[in-house]
């Protein structure tokens, strides 16, 4: 069995709701979390029947018991690292061939970073993380029936670095580790952006965003 991760190229909804229990406002993300019966950009295809079984098991064993937590960015394995947890999946169900989900963004250090990024206009996405075997069929890698869904993580959208840089230049306060992105770090990024030639700007933006993520 191999570690399999899949990014979903669909926009997420980001919204807040009042909590009936605490009276506080909770932050949620909602949208398509996984897709089946279609070849994705990684050349893989998830049969709906296999994914239905994996999702049902995950909902029964994790979601329904309040254990379905995910991380900000993928780790190197299937294990959940509690110090990196950013959200808890509260709902997961099929709509056609899509698996639609809803997740509560937690008030953990990583959850606060997610909120800060989204409030600053950064486009984040979700990516499933699981274990399973793959077989080649009709020029596709088809996921087999031993697939086990570990979780769904919040990850960087391919276009996220542009929004991140725009937020820096507009003076957005970025959430860092237990607080705000330090002023000197913002100034460093601003200086690098202003010094970069137009033809090299896209590469610099990408490097800058990766630098930010590496410090999480």
Task: Tell me, yes or no, if 74 is annotated catalytic.
Answer: yes
Task: Compute the CA torsion angle 193, 195, 200, 202 (nearest 10 deg).
Answer: 10
Catalytic residue among 74, 87, 128, 161: 74
Q: Which helix (H) or strand (E) holds 189?
A: helix 183-195
Using DSSP bridges, classify how beta strands 44-45 and 140-143 pair: parallel, antiparallel or unpaired: parallel
Please identify which residue in the block is written with the tokens 């970073």: 113
pLDDT tier, 26 (very low <50, low <70, confident <90, very high otherwise): very high
Question: Higher model confidence: residue 114 or residue 186?
Answer: 114
Q: Where are the domains of the chain?
A: 2-156, 160-214
Instruction: For residues 88-101, give the mean pLDDT.
Output: 96
Q: How far is CA 201 from the centre of its chain?
A: 25
pLDDT at 90: 97
Task: Tell me, yes or no, if 161 is annotated catalytic.
Answer: no
Catalytic residue among 53, 86, 87, 127: 127
How confident is the model over 157-193, as pLDDT tens digits?
Answer: 655 555 555 555 555 555 555 545 555 667 777 788 7
DSSP code of residue 199: G
Question: Higher model confidence: residue 185 or residue 9?
Answer: 9
- Mean pLDDT for all residues in the chain: 83
Phi-psi region of 138 (alpha: psi -120 to 50; beta: other; left: phi over 0): left
Q: Which two tokens stand for residue 81?
A: 């690292």
pLDDT at 27: 92
């Amino acid at each position: 069995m191999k570690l399999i991760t899949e990014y979903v190229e669909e926009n997420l909804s980001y919204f807040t709701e009042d909590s009936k229990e605490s009276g506080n406002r909770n932050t949620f993300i909602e949208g398509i979390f996984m897709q089946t019966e279609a070849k994705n950009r990684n050349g893989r295809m998830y049969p709906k029947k296999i994914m239905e079984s994996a999702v049902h098991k995950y909902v029964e064993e994790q979601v329904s018991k309040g254990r379905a937590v995910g991380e900000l960015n993928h780790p190197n394995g299937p294990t959940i690292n509690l110090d990196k947890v950013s959200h808890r999946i509260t709902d997961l169900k099929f709509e056609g061939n899509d698996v639609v989900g809803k997740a509560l963004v937690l008030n953990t250090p990583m959850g606060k970073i997610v909120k800060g990024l989204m409030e600053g206009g950064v486009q984040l996405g979700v990516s499933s993380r699981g274990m399973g075997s793959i077989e080649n069929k009709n020029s596709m890698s088809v996921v087999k029936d031993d697939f086990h869904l570990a979780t769904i993580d919040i990850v960087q959208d391919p276009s996220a670095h542009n929004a991140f840089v725009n937020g820096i230049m507009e003076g957005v306060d970025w959430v860092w580790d237990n607080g705000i992105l330090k002023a000197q770090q913002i100034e460093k990024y601003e200086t690098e952006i202003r010094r970069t030639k137009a033809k090299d700007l896209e590469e610099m933006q990408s490097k800058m965003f990766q630098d930010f993520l590496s410090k999480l």
